[in-house]
Structure 1
Amino acid sequence: MTVTSVPSGIPKEMRLIEAVKLYPKITRYTFFIMSAIVLYGFDLVIVGAITAVPGFQKDFGQLHDDKHIIPASWLSLWQALGPFGALVGAMLAGWVQDRVGRKMCLAGASFLSAVSVAVLFVSNRPAAIDTRRAVFLVGKIVQGVAVGMINIQAITYVSETIPTCLRGPALALFPAFTLLGQLIGSVVVFLVSDLENESSYLIAFATMWPFSVGPFVLALLMPESPAYLIRRKRMDDARSSIRRLFAPKVDPEEVFEKTRLSIEVEERLARQVTYMDCIKPAHRRRTWIVVFAAMITSIIGLPLLSTASYFLQVVGMSSFNSLLFLIVGIILGLIANAVSVWILSRVGRRRLTIYTLIIGGMLWGGMGICGFWDGVITVWYTAISCMIIVIIVGVGAWPASFAIRSEASSLRLRSKTQGLAGLFDHLSTIVLNLILPYIYNPDQGNLKAKTGFVFAGLCLVGAAVTFYDVPEMKGRTVLEIDAMFRLGLKTREFRNWRGTTEEIEAAVREVEGDDAMELLRAREGSKATSAELPARSSES
């Protein structure tokens, strides 16, 4: 018989408003913990777009053709080592939060963020300009470590605490709050850009302190993660935390038992696997898809779009207009992110990614062609192209890549595979941030708008890789996806494949083992009890 996506006894649908009413406390805590991501977006713009402020360029830059610019060598280091700090922070957070808890990790990262702001605030004090640049670099690295820790802590807390029916909407807050923080930060930078002295960037730096205090206060008020407490064998504390998060509308003891069972099985799975398993023949194909999906954010040009204000000044736009376009771009990104939630629920990830990568590549290529001419038309065409690219990838390849990353990873190797994905995501961003200033900056490659050719090529290659390697997994359960990969179906055969219950369970047992089947059944039992949606792989 044909397997359905809804197990027996589980309601086919729970509306978002119904889930919020059933879990009001955990919904509030989730909203507040994800709001810490605003700090990430805010700091990303403040310490990134500040290079487009004339006052900062005067104190940290050099004259080039009677205009202050940031040297490509330092711009490269500033743009690359911030993400490197975030990579270090993400790795450090995984170690710290498993030893001191989610709350203490968040509090410590918030304190570190405040320290980094202090370093940035005094970066203009040294007399030697290279020393100033070096102090600013240290501040960016420390801030990267802090926000990297906060990001991982927030995602970890939400993913191991929130019910399945709320997990998708909750994690969708990540890009939304990131863009909200960027919007607030870009408005701050825009408002201080008219100041010609050091006050312009010092005011912008000072506004980062309140955003560092917020997560610290939150860490003092929120309950500790029940999953962490269970792993530390603090069962009474775990029950108390669950009562604060779920009572009285949901039975806390039932949540406790389901969480404990799930953790026990996951720990058995974790002891059986290593990173080498990710590249063994049985899982190599899935690992490649996850790693490729993680690099899509770099392929579509986000490293350049995130510094669009300075890039547009290099092309020839005024400081005022470039910062204004930065604000418009972020607003468009917010709108695109909202629209993508609707589109991803109706359009397959594979087709959406291919089409938007091809369109994005054409837009980047048009920008590159326009770069062969100088003048006002080239400047405005470049700016408008950046805005359209933000919309196209914002509703397509960008959000779809997160769904592909989640869906393609094997249950037994999920933590290891996602760790590799995060590593390659950061590395691809770091590499592009290192080389881009040498491509477009006036004191080096001076390619300006012709930089678009770089991402035109990357987008077209990405579209080809997606066509040949990335199957359609929308609407499939974890069991079905495991079975299709185990059977070695060709990429284009995934969409129409239907299997029997026996075929699916046999494939999962062969690849994942009996422990994985036990974990899946435990999760299905938890969802049946809580009247939640069946666990599709994008929400697991």
Structure 2
Amino acid sequence: MAQEFHRLPSLDEDGEESRYYSRTSLDVVDGSYDQFRRRPDAVDAASTASLLDRKEQTRAQAQAEADAESKENSAPLRKALRLYRKLMGWMLLMSIVILYSGFDSAVVSMVQSVKKFQLDFGELQPIENKPDGYGEGEYWEISAKWLSLWDGVGPLGQLAGTFLGGYLIDRIGRRFSLVIGSIIGCIAIAILFFANRFPNKDKKCLMILIGKVVQGLGLGIMKIETFTYMSEVIPVSLKGAVMSFVPTFTLLGQLIGALVVQVTVDFPTPKSYLIPLASQYAVALPPLLFAFFLPESPAYLLKSKNDTTGALKSFKRLLGRKHDANLALQKMKKTLDEEAKNSSNASYAECFNSANRRRTAISFFAGSIEFCFGLSLLSGISYFLQKCGMAHSKSTMFTIIGILAGLVSNSCSTWTVSHIGRRTLIISTLSLTSVWWTVMGFSGIKQFPFTAWIAGGCATAVVVTCGLGCWPASYAVLGETSSIRLRSKSQAIGGLANNLLGIAMNAALPQLYNSDRLNLGAKTGFLFTGLTAGAALITYFCVPELKGRSAMEIDVLFKKGVPARGSKKWKYMYEEIPMGDA
């Protein structure tokens, strides 16, 4: 069969092109066209065999590099922590944002259980509606209408902040987005602090609502920046451990906030709730300050600015002198280049195209897991236990004990998330959590003096169980599922799920357990029995195992459509990229 020959653009001494290659062998030969044309087939065949040998060597070398990277990604936690000590320091500093989020949720929700706050913002209720353990005197209660608005409409601010943050961090960078979010948060604290200055109670409650919306806006921007930054810079071997910071520091913030409220709860003046509200500045200001010293995300500099030099400087500051910043830069560039081949623009619409639709659905689900296991109810457990018949002081103390137990379990999750697969953790802990909620539900069918204590014990068991598994694992899944190019957008979509479900839960729960509505009390637990069981099933059928996989491996896993069941056994193998015709 006749061969086709092509000349290469190289010149001999006389200026004549004299190098040719065959489309069959791709072997380059010096000399004239006639000499090349008269070459025997055996020589051409030998050249082809030589080319195949070189390709096989290249394949073997690439596979060896892939295996070495896989081994590095599976490094023991202790070794990885020693290797990346400086990076872990930056991540701990970033975690102040998560601490602020937990502190805010504890303070703003727990002041609702303070008697003086109920007197200033609530309504006088008939004495027969007073629950056991409330104490002597008149019974004041914040209406279900305002509770639903505060807890339901309030998170709309965080929803808006999540989407605004997803836009800002790709336009002005991670650092300046953090500055903007911190300033908005500081303004919101002032609105909450001065809400009681209005003489009309409806206006007071309206100012609390405005304050919560504005604070949610700031927190939404700060959290999306923090989650995106962390997921972009941490190595695979530490991804599970670092993402477990989210529930750990959330609980730590809640613990500190609960202790502040516990110290002031019995003050006979408005200081009983004003001091906790003002104390939020202690955790809102530090992110504003360290944002000016934080290295910009290398992924942002490469994607949005095409600034290779700046990205290299950021890697050097993040990793320290002991690590090869150039190697980290090349890995990130390679992953970004491969992802860019599928599309040209990183937009929200791209998250829903055929190549990314499955990943986006998993991100949406991962962002909703914490509300499926009942975080909305657990965040306001002090007020809920009062509705079940527990005294004010005991309900606050019970909250602190529950947070402490959850903090210990979430600290242990650094080990569980680093050693146990995401699917196993999520499915097993959600299944066990459904049992705890069922026990709580049955305890409320008939009211006894110990019903509130059973409800509190089950709530604590939920915090411990989920803190060891599905709570930190859900953030690991959220940080691993999306491609690097679409990470900020996917994080925003996960935040959308978190906020939408949070709005629905926070609006519905007071209608279920408040005494002026359905007054279900502990029977509310049955709602979460169904939600946790459903979430476990969705994980089993839809969420693949991503633990220990690099961004490139995860890209290939989703590109090949590897099913969730059996994904743990799937192994990434180097594949030669097909070349077009010469």
What TM-score results when the alignment is normalised by the length of structure 2? Answer: 0.78
Partner of 2:112: 51
Q: Which moved more, 1:157-166 or 1:295-304?
A: 157-166
Structure 1 residues 79-478: aligned runs within 5 Å: 79-230=151-302, 231-233=304-306, 238=311, 240-252=313-325, 271=344, 275-276=348-349, 278-279=351-352, 284-409=357-482, 416-475=489-548
Partner of 1:63: 124
Change (3 A) 1:343 1:45: same
Letter in 2 for 1:43: D
Change (3 A) 1:179 1:101: same
Please state if 1:41 is matched with 2:102.
Answer: yes
CA–CA distance in structure 1, aligned partners of residues 406 and 420 of structure 2: 19
Change (3 A) 1:358 1:245: closer
Q: Which moved more, 1:434-443 or 1:232-241?
A: 232-241
Letter in 2 for 1:85: G
Q: For each residue in 1:232-288, what CA deviation from the matched residue of structure 2 results, as whole angstroms up to 9, or x when unmatched?
A: 355665555454444533355555555556556656656256555555566544443
**Residues 5 and 476 in structure 1, CA contact (< 8 A), matched pair in contact too:** no
Partner of 1:520: none
Once the two structures are TM-superposed, the CA of residue 313 in structure 1 deviates from its matched residue by: 0.7
CA–CA distance in structure 2, aligned partners of residues 285 and 383 of structure 1: 38
**Residues 468 and 491 in structure 1, CA contact (< 8 A), matched pair in contact too:** yes
Q: For each residue in 1:7-27, what CA deviation from the matched residue of structure 2 results, as whole angstroms up to 9, or x when unmatched?
A: 244454645555555555433
Partner SS, residue 94 of structure 1: helix
Partner SS, residue 195 of structure 2: coil
CA–CA distance in structure 2, aligned partners of residues 351 and 263 of structure 1: 30
Change (3 A) 1:6 1:172: farther
**Residues 123 and 136 in structure 1, CA contact (< 8 A), matched pair in contact too:** yes
Partner of 2:52: none
CA–CA distance in structure 1, aligned partners of residues 479 and 200 of structure 2: 48
Q: Which moved more, 1:15-24 or 1:392-401?
A: 15-24
Once the two structures are TM-superposed, the CA of residue 223 in structure 1 deviates from its matched residue by: 3.5
Partner of 2:149: 77
CA–CA distance in structure 1, aligned partners of residues 365 and 328 of structure 2: 36
CA–CA distance in structure 1, aligned partners of residues 85 and 232 of structure 2: 17
Change (3 A) 1:240 1:342: closer
Partner of 1:521: none
Q: Which moved more, 1:449-458 or 1:1-10?
A: 1-10
The structure richer in helix per residue is 1
Partner of 1:519: none
Letter in 2 for 1:436: L
CA–CA distance in structure 2, aligned partners of residues 59 and 33 of structure 1: 37
CA–CA distance in structure 2, aligned partners of residues 441 and 475 of structure 1: 45
Once the two structures are TM-superposed, the CA of residue 94 in structure 1 deviates from its matched residue by: 2.7
Change (3 A) 1:232 1:288: closer
Identity percentage of aligned residues: 38
Q: For each residue in 1:334-355, what CA deviation from the matched residue of structure 2 results, as whole angstroms up to 9, or x when unmatched?
A: 1221223323344443343333
- Structure whose CA Rg is larger: 2
CA–CA distance in structure 1, aligned partners of residues 423 and 329 of structure 2: 38
Partner SS, residue 232 of structure 1: coil
Partner SS, residue 68 of structure 1: strand
**Residues 60 and 132 in structure 1, CA contact (< 8 A), matched pair in contact too:** yes
**Residues 5 and 477 in structure 1, CA contact (< 8 A), matched pair in contact too:** no
Once the two structures are TM-superposed, the CA of residue 110 in structure 1 deviates from its matched residue by: 1.9
Change (3 A) 1:284 1:238: closer
**Residues 175 and 337 in structure 1, CA contact (< 8 A), matched pair in contact too:** yes
User: What count of residue pairs does the alignment treat as equivalent?
Assistant: 507
Change (3 A) 1:146 1:473: closer
Q: For each residue in 1:273-320, what CA deviation from the matched residue of structure 2 results, as whole angstroms up to 9, or x when unmatched?
A: 655555556654444333333222111111111110111111111111
CA–CA distance in structure 2, aligned partners of residues 213 and 104 of structure 1: 14
**Residues 243 and 475 in structure 2, CA contact (< 8 A), matched pair in contact too:** no
CA–CA distance in structure 2, aligned partners of residues 14 and 472 of structure 1: 17
CA–CA distance in structure 2, aligned partners of residues 71 and 42 of structure 1: 24
Once the two structures are TM-superposed, the CA of residue 468 in structure 1 deviates from its matched residue by: 3.6
What TM-score results when the alignment is normalised by the length of structure 1? Answer: 0.83
**Residues 291 and 421 in structure 1, CA contact (< 8 A), matched pair in contact too:** yes
Change (3 A) 1:18 1:183: same
Partner SS, residue 271 of structure 1: coil
Letter in 2 for 1:189: V
Once the two structures are TM-superposed, the CA of residue 100 in structure 1 deviates from its matched residue by: 3.4
Partner of 2:42: none
